[in-house]
Amino acid sequence: MKTPMQELLEWVRATLPMDLETPQMIERKIESMLEKEKHHFICYSLGYLEVHQFVHPDEFYNTFINFEETTTFNTNE
């Protein structure tokens, strides 16, 4: 089973002319996003092992990945 980023990278490599600069830039960006995706999978796995219970992927995302979007700061201080 491939992740969405792996599928996208495969599609880019099969579809775009890789001898041009723009497709190479796209390829590098996707590769960097794959590393970030891998990091999130590792964090999820370690979180699971630490608490020895299943953590729903949505809960993991909202707690660890989507932190900046869900955090609010009081600007009235």
Checking if the pLDDT of 72 tops 60, the result is no
Dump pLDDT digits (tens) for 20-60: 899 899 999 999 998 888 887 777 777 666 665 666 767 76
Could you give the dihedral angle defined by the CA atoms of residues 66, 7, 23 and 42, in that order, rounded to the nearest 10 degrees?
A: 40
Structural domain boundaries in the chain: 4-70
Tell the residue number behind the tokens 């890789």, with chain if given: 18
| DSSP codes of every residue in 13-56 | HHHS-TTSHHHHHHHHHHHHHHHHHHHHHHHHHHHHHHHTS---
Structure-token pair, residue 33: 């996003």
Checking if the pLDDT of 73 tops 60, the result is no
